Each structure stands twice: as structure tokens, then as C-alpha cells.
Amino acid sequence: MPGTLQIAYKLLVNDRAKFAALLVGITFAVFLMIEMTSLFTGILRRASAPIINIGAPMWVMDPAVQTAANSIPMPDYVLDEVRSMPGVKYAVPLYSGTALLKLGDGTYQAANIVGLDDNTLYGRPQMLEGGLLDIFAENAFVAIEDADFPKLGDARIGTTFEVNDHRGVIVGIARVAASALFGIPTLYTTYDRALQYLPNTRFTLSYVLIQPKSPGDALSIERRVAADGYLALTKEQFIGRVSDFYMYQTGLGINLMLMTLMSFIIGLSISGQTFYTFILENIERFGALKAIGAKSRELIGMILFQASFVALTGYGLGVGLCALIIWLARARLPDYAAMMTFTNLVLAFVLVVVIAAVSSYFGVRKVLKIEAFDIFRG
């Protein structure tokens, strides 16, 4: 390390009060920024849970559908029309709805009901207990073991319940990639049983799941489905549609982004003010270095080093603190949705660099204006 940077390091860490204040400001700003963005990312993932769990490459739906949980029934002929389209390898129906269960102890519990195609069981979950073919047994349902599974009571294989005056039996327990957003358990059954057991409108088809013959066929399928008055989206497009809905058409995205912006402003104000105060308290030392021959670029390098050292150290501490809090929260609160991603970390890093740049800018201006004559005269 060059001598001027060693001096800059010692000046920084020897003033423990200012150094601690700078670290605390950056650390908590990073913690809040990552926490807010991680929470938003986790919520969006849970909102797209049905799309992720089923895993179909393409989905056909009513054009008014905004989220995967709120399907709009379509007439059955849509399935036949899609199956006849060139480029479609196969297409299967999917039922998605909500039902009110009467559990064995007499309490009522809402649940998501997913009806899989009877012939293929396309989109089936990964079984943990019981056999997949048991879903064809009379009154059979498969329960998903996730954060909301305990809301089914002491559920196990053989547990019974009532749904719309029909008897239901849990014949298996499975798991999926993502838990649902709204805090209610999920049950899988066959498509025909879902239509038989649950009240429905005149149209019953929630979605059509498509497997194209090749990725290049997706665009032509989208055009043909659009010509029939319906909407075909790839898995990624559907997830993006759900994310856009929660981000722009609800208050969720705006509120969390405002919290992230407030965290950035708080970190910037605390760090900028503290760092500028640190520069003022050490202005004589910078003046002395300038008097003995230190060049302006060396002084600028010292300040940038100090700001970068504090920012990166605070960034690391903030990331570690956020990861610890999320881990503890998930251990205690199964429904906690926050999820750290590479995008969250990069966004927080960019904002920390901005904080360091703004904080060091005012310090650089002050140091460049000092004259050695004024320092020694004082």
C-alpha cells in the first residue's frame, strides 16, 4: 500500500467515534435497502408460485387475467382449438381455484385447489409420502407441505375433510418449488374431480398448458391464439405479467421502492455529514501533507480510499446482517417471503458506490481549497 494510503487508513481508523458512525450509517442503509428489495422479490416469486410449480412452457388464458391466482374460466373448445394448431406438441387443461374446506375438527379453512389433467398429470408435484397414482382413488387429494401446510390441522395420509358437501381424503403429501402468496394451503387433485366437487360457472377451463414442438413455434402459437381472442404467454412472459401487476397496479411496488429510496437518502445524509465532519477535523493534516509536497491527486486518492474503505466495509456488514435477519425470520416465521438475489445485491452495491462518491466529493472540494500557508499561519 502506498504511503499516502497508509496515512489515510490510520487517520480514518484512529478516530474511532467517526469511523464507527460512518460504518453504522452505511451498514443500516445497506441493510434496509437489501431488506426492502429482498422482500419485494420474495413476494413476486410467491405471486408467481403456480406458474413456477406447474412449469409449463406456455400458458393460454383469458386476456383479462393479471395474476396466476385469479383465473378467468374459458370454454372447453379452446383446448381443442389449441391442440389443433401447428407447432403444438401437446396441450392439457388445468383447473385453478379456491375452495372452503371443513376440517375434521369442524373448523373451516380456505385452500387453493389445483386440478391436473387426468391423462398426463402434467405439472404434478414431487411426492414425499404416498404414491402419485393414489390421486386417482375415490375422493383423493394430495396436500402440499409448505409454510401453510399446518393450517390443514394435523394432516397426514388418510385425513378426511369436506369440500362443497363432498368427502375429501388426503392420499399423499408432496412439495413444490415455491409457496403461495396469500397464506392458504394447496391441494392437488385430478381435473375431472375438481370440476365435479367445486362450484363452477358455465365455463370451467382455467388454463391450457402447451408444450411447443420447438421454442421457435412459440411466436406462431401466440399469434394464432390471439386471433381466437385469447392470450398465450410463455412461462417467463406470464411471470413478468404477474410482476408488472403487483409492481405498477398495486401499492406494493411503489411503497417498497419508496422505502428503499428513503433508506438510500438516510444512508447518504448520515455518511455524507459524518465524512465531511471527519475531513474538517483533519484539514490541518491534509494541509501539512500538501505543504511537504503531496500532490492534489494523492490527496484525492486518500479521500477516495477512505470513502471506499468505509463504504465497502459497511456494505459487507449490511449484507451479512440482512442475511442473518432473513435466516432467523424464516426459521421462526415460515410465511416470511424475503429472498436475497444477485440483483438485490448489485442494486445495493451501486447505491453504496453513489453514497461513497457523493460523500467524498465534498471532502475533495474542501481539501483542494486549503493552502499550506493558512494552515501554518494558524
Bridge partners (DSSP) of residue 247 are: none
- Cell numbers at 189, concatenated: 387433485
Report the SS3 class of residue 167: strand
pLDDT in tens, 41-83: 888 888 888 899 998 999 999 999 988 888 899 999 999 999 9
Would you say 115 and 140 are in contact if contact means Cβ atoms under 8 Å apart? no
Residue 235: closest CA among 210, 216, 204: 210
Long-range Cβ contact pairs of 332-336 (< 8 A, separation 24 or more) = 334/146, 334/147, 334/148, 335/147, 335/148, 335/179, 335/183, 336/42
The answer for residues whose C-beta is within 8 angstroms of residue 135's C-beta and 6 or more apart is 116, 121, 141, 142, 171, 172, 188, 189, 190
> Which positions of the chain have pLDDT values less than 70?
1-2, 294, 370-378
Alpha-helical (H) ranges within the chain are 3-14, 16-47, 49-54, 77-83, 191-197, 218-227, 235-248, 251-281, 283-291, 296-332, 342-369, 372-377
Instruction: Classify 37 as helix, strand or coil.
Output: helix
Q: C-alpha angle 213/216/222, rounded to 5°?
A: 90
Q: What is the pLDDT of residue 341?
A: 87
Per-position b or e across 257-276, b if 16+ CB within 10 A of its CB:
eebbeebbeebbebbbebbb
Whether residue 31 contacts residue 321, with contact meaning beta carbons closer than 8 Å, is answered with yes
Q: At what angle do helices 342-369 and 283-291 cross, to 10 degrees?
A: 60
